[in-house]
Amino acid sequence: MPGKVETLADGRGIPVVIPEEDHTFVLDEDALSALLLREDVRDRAVVVLSVAGAFRKGKSFLLDFFLRYMHHKYILGESGEGWLGADDEPLKGFSWRGGSERDTTGLLLWSQPFKATLANGEKVVIFLMDTQGTFDSESTVRDNAIVFALSTMLSSVLIYNLSQNIEEDDLQHLQLFTDYGSLAQEKSVGKPFQRLQFLIRDWSVPYEYPYGAQGGLKLLHKRLEVHEGQHKELQTLRQHIQACFEELACFLMPHPGLNVATSPEFNGKLADIRDEFKTSLRQLVPMLLAPENLVPKLIGGQKVKAKDLMQYFRVYMNIFNGSELPTPKTILEATAEANNLSAVAEARDVYDFIMDEVCGGAKPYLDPRRLEDEHRRAKDKALHAFHSKKKMGGGELADSYRERLEKEIQEQYQQLQAHNEGKNIFRMAGTPAVLVALVILGYLLSVLGGAFGLQTLVAVGQMIIISSTVTLGVWAYSRISGNMRDISLQIDGVADTVRNYVMRQAVGGALLHSTDSSADKKSS
């Protein structure tokens, strides 16, 4: 309904990566394309914020406060601290509940993309991603690694949700991505990830490091410190973590209160949450989601559009659904493949847009020579778009995808040619018109031959009449029945040749007559 203001109740968490009983994962492409390929968002750069970490640590609960802020800021267009809501307002959004059993499975995206404008005027779209909690009683080590890997690879801001502290095991879970980041830098790809935001829930020693971003940063520096006497493996891990994220941050939060942790009736009302926790929320959420703080997703130094994100979902699902976890090299190759595929898709869009303006849809018939000129122009612009986009994987890989692009463009051009010819009224009526004209010509020849007693001319005329009539019958039968299509195409070709020859002769004669007339006028 035009003018309708969306509410949080209008949205829901959409499962896009779904776990199966055999511990594999399935990508719901229909659900994902409905989100990413919407006309109003598909060409916008994406900001993807995801929350990952152990199960039952309040990831979905936290995301629902993010949703409140996003709805207040980007749907209602309001500012100020009123986004946190009324004291008696239940918390809605991604599904969450208290207790000891997991609630979220797989990866979910919120069904309402939030459109925003950065400080530089660039239009982006924000997606919030909820992830299955790791280390529950139903997931294998491989399941946990896949969920964590996908959320890391696909997000521009990964919130690593931890409880009480940053333990060595928490850093070890980043090993696969730090190795990938190191390899990416060796290949001159640059830092593959944008922001890793550690979030320490239930921080219990504020006298040591105070709540908030500053205290968190001091704690993070301490945990990532490299010093003499430290084991080489621990040093390497810390160096790689710092090398493969463009930004590292940490935020310390207090416990939300006993009502949140122990009451079975708790439904997210602010009245039941400690004031210190609400104060931290007012600091944390805008720090991540205010327009001036949004972080667009980059891969290979290029901003990822919503339509490109579809490609990355596909290739990452393919490599992470194997029997074993992929190596950093395999991840890099898959990323390079998706990167080149998105460059091809963008270049195809350029070609399709230009050609649609020229001969698409209800556009009238276009002279074939003009169509070919427009095709060359559109192809040049498409290739320029392909070459101007920074690509991963080196020149040899890029050349193979350029060849693929040229092949797809040529196939599309052939379809456009056929579509254009289908609009040619003269072509549609041309074959029967030529054949009827030949019948009339044969009749005239027969009459002239009979009048002057030239039996040969009469015979030629009758032969033209009979052959043209038979050919017209065969052509009509083929068009009506759909049989003998090859023969009807050959008849069309011959008719085209005759018609084009006659038109060239007519045009040539007219030009010659015009030239002679001009010469006569000049001599006069």
**CA angle, 503 then 505 then 510, to 5°:** 95
Helices (H), 360-454: 368-388, 394-422, 425-452
Instruction: Select 8-320's CATH number: 3.40.50.1110, 2.150.10.10, 3.40.50.12280, 3.40.50.300.
Output: 3.40.50.300
DSSP letters spanning 235-252:
HHHHHHHHHHEEEEEEEE
Better-scored residue on pLDDT, 136 or 315: 315
Q: Do domains 8-320 and 343-422 have the same CATH topology?
A: no
Question: Pairing state of beta strands 13-19 and 45-53?
Answer: unpaired
pLDDT at 384: 93
pLDDT class of 8 with cuts at 50, 70, 90: low
Q: What is the DSSP string of 83-137?
A: GG--TTPPP-SS----SSS----SEEEESS-EEEE-TTS-EEEEEEEEEPPBS-T
Q: Which helix (H) or strand (E) holds 276?
A: helix 275-289
The stretch 353-357 carries a mean pLDDT of 90
CA–centroid distance for 37 within its chain: 6
State pLDDT tens for residues 414-455. 988 888 877 665 555 667 778 888 888 888 888 888 888 888
- Residue 264's pLDDT band, with cuts at 50, 70 and 90, is low
342 vs 289: CA distance, rounded Å: 27
- Note the CATH number of domain 343-422: 1.20.58.420
Of the two residues 79 and 31, the one the predictor is more confident about is 31
Give the range among 37-51, 212-226, 325-339, 376-390 with minimum mean pLDDT: 325-339
Mean pLDDT of 11-19: 83
Give the pLDDT of residue 177. 65
pTM exceeds 0.85 for this model? no
Distance CA 147, CA 17 (A): 9
Q: Where are the domains of the chain?
A: 8-320, 343-422, 426-513
What is the rounded distance in angstroms from the CA atom of residue 176 to the CA atom of residue 156?
17
- Model pLDDT for residues 85-141, shown as the tens digit of each residue: 887 887 777 765 443 344 456 788 998 889 999 888 899 999 998 886 554 446 677
Distance CA 326, CA 331 (A): 7
Stretch 28-49: mean pLDDT, rounded? 92
Query: Which CB contacts under 8 angstroms, 24+ apart, belong to 2-6?
Result: 5/75, 5/76, 6/71, 6/75, 6/112
